[in-house]
Structure 1
């Protein structure tokens, strides 16, 4: 776990479902530390130097990584430079609250459109 590391990390690698990592990417954008590159693909390890050079990046992963780690087809990666982790974390709560409010709004809107 990150809290147990004896030194500050160069890069923190998150893996999870797209909906959760969307929030992390939005927090990075809000913090001004998101890289201006498209999703990275093969190889997954390319995300580490890309994050160090340009900021927070997302990766679809590669088959080698998925075989060795057991990562599912329903999971993506986000690499966050250690130097930016606190700024991204500071924005994550704001982003989560905003997305929860937007989800409520859109559920209501969808219901109203279905009855019109």
Structure 2
């Protein structure tokens, strides 16, 4: 029975789709004062920043900068943590960071796709 017959090909395709979907999901964090909101994805990329106009009522650039950085850190950590556990369960790959998991799973999918290509060439 070939790789494509056993369903591993479909599993590899599903893993690729899942990795892409999870990597693009947004996680939002809001500062403690509610004036800064950051959106991030599990790869660590910040994809959104909102600053409430109320920051102008009491201008303090240092406090605002600290609030933005802290909220960015929380958004990235939240996005990574939220999605890492589900991906570890689905993939069976042990990893302590999203980047590590993404690399391992991508390598696994690439290897499976190469096997499928080899089998299809032989048929």
Pairwise same-fold verdict (TM > 0.5): no
Larger Rg, first or second structure (1 or 2): 2
State TM-score, norm by structure 1: 0.33
- Answer 1 or 2: higher relative contact order, Cα 8 Å, separation at least 6: 1
**TM-score in terms of structure 2 length:** 0.32
